[in-house]
C-alpha cells in the first residue's frame, strides 16, 4: 500500500503548534488539537466587513484593514464632517472635520492622519485647508498651494503627497504637492495626464496614480519616484471614482464608474509594479466613489455609491497559503 512516507520520503511530523512560515502542500499532525493539518492555497477574495454608520461617497481614507479611518464625503446636500474609525469589526464615530467637504483625499494612519482637498457646497469653493487627526480630534494645519477636488493622495502625516484633482472652477490638474508635516510645496513634477477621481497608493517618494477621469474614465497608471512621474501599466478597464490601496509595486484598484455602460463596477484589478491583472472575484456590491485602505494582502473597500449611498464595507484578503484542517468530508 502506498504511504505518505513512501511518496515523500518522510513521515508526517507531530508538532505541538502549527508551523510558521507555511509551505504550500505541507502536512503535519497537531498533537495539541489532535488534528491533521495542511498548508493550502487561498485565492484572493472579498468578504463582508462591518457597516459604516454614515454612508457617503468621495470621502478621505487612511489606515489599514483592521485600523482604518474615514472622514468627509457626499451627499452634497450635507457633506460629512464626522469621522469614523474601524477596528476590524465595527465602525465608531470619533471627531469631526473643521471644514465640511467632499471629494477629499487622505494619507497616514488611523491615529496620525492628514486629510486635504475637496469641495464645499454649493460646489463653488475648494478649501485649501489641511487637517490632521490624532486619533480623536482634527486640527487645522498648513494650506495647499492650490485647492482642488478629488485629488490623489498617499504617504504619512509628516510626509504626504497630493496629485492631480480638478480646480474649481477650472480645468483638471496634473500638478503635484508635497507636505513635510508643516507646509505644502509645489515640485516641478507633473503627470502626463490631468485627471481627478482617481485611485492612489504608495508613499510620498513611491506613489501610484490609478485611473481617474477627465472627464470620462482613464486607464493609464503613472508612477512617482520622488522626483518625476513616468508611465506605468494600464488598467484593463478604464474607470473613474475607483479606490486604490497598497504600494507602488503591489496595489489594488477596486470598483469605480464605467462611462461606456454608464454604471458602477465591482471589478478588482491587481498591480505587480508592471502590469494589472483582473481578479476573478470582484466586489459583492458594485460601487463608485468608494474609499480604500490597507495593502494588497489585506485591504478595505469602504461605502460609496451606486445610485444610493452604501453602508456596506468589504474586506480584501489577498492570495495566501493558509492552515486547513484535514477532515473526512
Confidence of residue 41 (pLDDT cuts 50, 70, 90): low
Asked if residue 109 has pLDDT above 70, the reply is yes
Query: Tell me, what's the pLDDT at 80?
Result: 72
Give the distance from CA 102 to its chain's centroid.
17
Phi then psi for residue 7, to 5 deg, are -80, -45
Query: Tell me, what's the pLDDT at 245?
Result: 98
Confidence of residue 20 (pLDDT cuts 50, 70, 90): confident
pLDDT by residue (tens digit) across 255-291?
Answer: 999 998 899 999 999 999 999 999 999 999 999 999 9
pLDDT by residue (tens digit) across 117-162?
Answer: 999 877 667 889 999 999 999 999 989 999 999 999 999 999 999 9
Asked if residue 24 has pLDDT above 80, the reply is no
pLDDT by residue (tens digit) across 162-191?
Answer: 999 999 878 999 999 999 999 999 999 999
Query: Tell me, what's the pLDDT at 34?
Result: 85
Domains of the chain: 4-42 (no CATH), 45-317 (2.120.10.80)
Asked if residue 46 has pLDDT above 80, the reply is yes
d(CA 261, CA 274): 28
d(CA 281, CA 275): 18
Q: What angle do CA 213, 217, 218 make, to 5 degrees?
A: 85
Query: Tell me, what's the pLDDT at 313?
Result: 98
pTM: 0.87
Query: Tell me, what's the pLDDT at 43?
Result: 79
Q: What is the mean pLDDT of residues 195-211?
A: 98
Residue 288: strand, helix, or coil: strand
Q: What is the mean pLDDT of residues 235-256?
A: 98
Q: Where are the alpha helices (DSSP H) in 140-200?
A: none
Confidence of residue 65 (pLDDT cuts 50, 70, 90): very high
Amino acid at each position: 500500500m502506498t504511504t505518505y512516507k513512501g511518496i515523500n520520503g518522510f513521515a508526517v511530523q507531530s508538532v505541538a503548534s502549527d508551523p510558521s512560515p507555511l509551505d504550500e502542500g505541507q502536512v503535519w499532525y497537531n498533537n495539541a488539537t489532535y488534528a491533521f493539518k495542511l498548508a493550502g492555497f487561498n485565492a484572493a477574495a472579498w468578504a463582508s466587513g462591518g457597516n459604516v454608520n454614515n454612508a457617503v461617497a468621495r470621502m478621505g481614507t487612511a489606515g489599514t484593514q483592521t485600523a482604518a479611518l474615514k472622514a468627509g464625503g457626499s451627499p452634497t446636500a450635507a457633506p460629512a464632517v464626522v469621522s469614523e474609525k474601524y477596528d476590524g469589526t465595527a465602525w465608531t464615530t470619533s471627531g469631526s472635520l473643521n471644514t465640511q467637504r467632499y471629494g477629499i483625499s487622505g494619507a497616514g494612519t488611523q491615529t496620525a492622519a492628514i486629510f486635504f482637498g475637496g469641495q464645499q457646497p454649493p460646489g463653488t469653493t475648494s478649501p485649501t485647508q489641511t487637517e490632521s487627526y490624532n486619533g480623536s480630534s482634527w486640527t487645522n494645519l498648513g494650506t495647499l498651494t492650490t485647492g482642488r477636488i478629488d485629488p490623489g493622495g498617499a504617504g504619512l502625516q509628516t510626509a504626504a503627497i497630493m496629485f492631480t484633482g480638478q480646480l474649481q472652477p477650472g480645468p483638471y490638474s496634473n500638478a503635484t504637492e508635497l507636505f513635510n508635516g508643516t507646509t505644502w510645496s509645489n515640485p516641478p513634477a507633473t503627470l502626463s495626464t490631468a485627471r481627478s477621481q482617481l485611485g492612489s497608493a504608495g508613499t510620498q517618494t513611491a506613489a501610484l496614480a490609478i485611473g481617474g477621469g477627465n472627464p470620462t474614465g482613464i486607464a493609464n497608471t503613472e508612477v512617482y519616484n520622488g522626483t518625476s512621474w513616468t508611465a506605468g501599466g494600464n488598467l484593463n478597464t478604464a474607470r473613474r471614482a475607483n479606490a486604490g490601496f497598497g504600494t507602488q509595486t503591489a496595489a489594488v484598484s477596486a470598483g469605480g464608474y464605467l462611462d461606456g455602460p454608464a454604471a458602477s463596477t465591482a471589478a478588482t484589478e491587481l498591480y505587480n509594479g508592471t502590469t494589472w491583472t483582473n481578479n476573478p472575484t470582484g466586489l459583492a456590491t458594485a460601487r463608485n466613489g468608494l474609499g480604500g485602505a490597507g495593502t494588497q494582502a489585506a485591504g478595505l473597500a469602504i461605502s460609496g455609491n451606486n445610485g444610493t449611498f452604501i453602508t456596506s464595507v468589504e474586506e480584501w484578503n489577498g492570495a495566501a497559503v493558509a492552515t486547513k484542517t484535514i477532515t473526512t468530508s
